[in-house]
Amino acid sequence: MSLVEMIARADEGALAASGLACVDRCLPLLGGRDDALRPVWAALDADADWSAPLAKLRAEVGISGDGQARTEAADRVRSLLVGVPDVRTEETLRTWSDGCSATALLVHRSLDLAGGDVPPEELRRGAEPVGVGPLVAGELRRQARILEVLMDHEGVGNGLRRTVGISAEGRRILRAAAARRARTAG
């Protein structure tokens, strides 16, 4: 099943978690701490209002970009944070989560040395990731795995915990790729 199909079938909780996981993996480009999203994850886990922890996160990472290096990839990550719906409804979350999926692939592609010719939207619809670099291929696998975990209703309690773990791995990989790119560019 393609990412687009999985997002179309996901419930409200899976949509919120998958979108948040995309933000989590891309946050290193804004200089965010590894645990910066912990309060937002906790609110999601408790099915509580996440607007207050989101406001704190937005302030902490400076979504305006003032005083930070402006890159296209960092601006894309800021757009993910700006777009998080304060009120979680299935409709708003589906739109946001879908956008997060596409944006995360674009962010990974911008740091992937191999680049690739297949547009991210085609990859999300199930196109073979032939010729794409390892960052994009890895992000595709992580997004699919997270949606599979979240849509498995037998392991609902574990789904969020496993999602956070998968996302942490992706965050470390993206941070290393960004550092490598900065060293080679400078």
User: Per-residue pLDDT for the chain (186 aa), expressed as one digit of tens each?
Assistant: 899 999 999 999 999 999 999 999 999 999 888 899 999 999 999 989 999 999 999 998 877 555 555 788 899 999 999 999 988 999 999 999 999 999 999 999 989 877 667 777 888 888 777 778 899 999 999 999 999 999 987 655 678 999 999 999 999 999 999 998 888 876
Q: In this predicted structure, what is the pLDDT of residue 115?
A: 64
* Pair 125, 101: CB distance under 8 Å: no
Range of the domain at 93: 3-185
Count: domains in the chain? 1
Q: In this predicted structure, what is the pLDDT of residue 57?
A: 92
* Pair 54, 86: CB distance under 8 Å: yes
Of the chain, the end-to-end C-alpha distance in Å amounts to 41
Closest-CA residue to 3 (of 158, 132, 137, 121): 121
Torsion angle of alpha carbons 82, 161, 7, 115, nearest 10°?
A: 70
Cβ-based neighbours of 43, under 8 Å, separated by 6 or more: 49, 50, 52, 53
